[in-house]
Structure 1
Amino acid sequence: MAADNAPRPEGLKLRRGSRVLEVSYPGETPFALPFEYLRVYSPSAEVRGHGPGQDTLQTGKKHVLVETVKPVGHYAVQLVFDDGHDSGIYAWDYLRALCVHHEAWWQDYLDRLAAAGASRDPDTQVLHFEP
């Protein structure tokens, strides 16, 4: 469960056309979190594993959609994605971290994809040939 002092958003707007979840906090410019970013950083055990170093690089999620946002008590939301993934519970403190660290975490994801020779696009296979 999230810490009691985790900032709770004052608003969540699912913007399907632009594929973002808009997260608003009092007195701040809203954050726009792309669906793909939310999917690849899902807090689920399927993505993060059960301990350090057990995370699974998510590939081919460029076109993923969030179908539903469900409240979980007073401390989190559950996102249901159109690829069937629905086991991540986004506690308020983790959702805030996703907002604050969006740029750095997204670049880290892109770097890990490149290092793995993987793609964001589900229809693309990346091949590397040695000269």
Structure 2
Amino acid sequence: MNDEIIEESIDEDAICSLARLIGDEDRARSRTRMLMSLMKAIDIDGPEGEVEVFKAVADPCRLRIVKLLKEGELCVCEIMTALDKPQSTTSHHLSILREAGLVRERKDGKWSYYRLADSAVNEMIKQARELKKIK
């Protein structure tokens, strides 16, 4: 990105606040420029997709479904039985997981089967478990 454009968009209040905290106006200006550049890159990528994924697995019932599907493909009726939840509730949770890209659906006649969308879903759960161990 062009340095002049970044320089023009630097918020002087942000520079002053950071300068008060770190005690060096030149360093504050440089760090603010770097931070603004990072934020623009983050905003271009758009965090909405990641937020949707994290929201989907933040629900205990949906996380349980993901963990069930680690063992392989299951029919909705099997997931309902395992969770002891009604079909409508189970389908709602599966819909959220599917929209977040965490599970895939396969239709076979009147039956719907679900599986994890990618091995990355397993890895995400494994990493979450590892992060929780680190204290």
TM-score of Structure 1 vs Structure 2, range by shorter chain: under 0.3
Higher strand share: 1
Q: Which has the larger radius of gyration?
A: 2
TM-score (norm 1): 0.24
Higher helix share: 2
Q: Which has the higher contact order (CA 8 A, sep 6+)?
A: 1
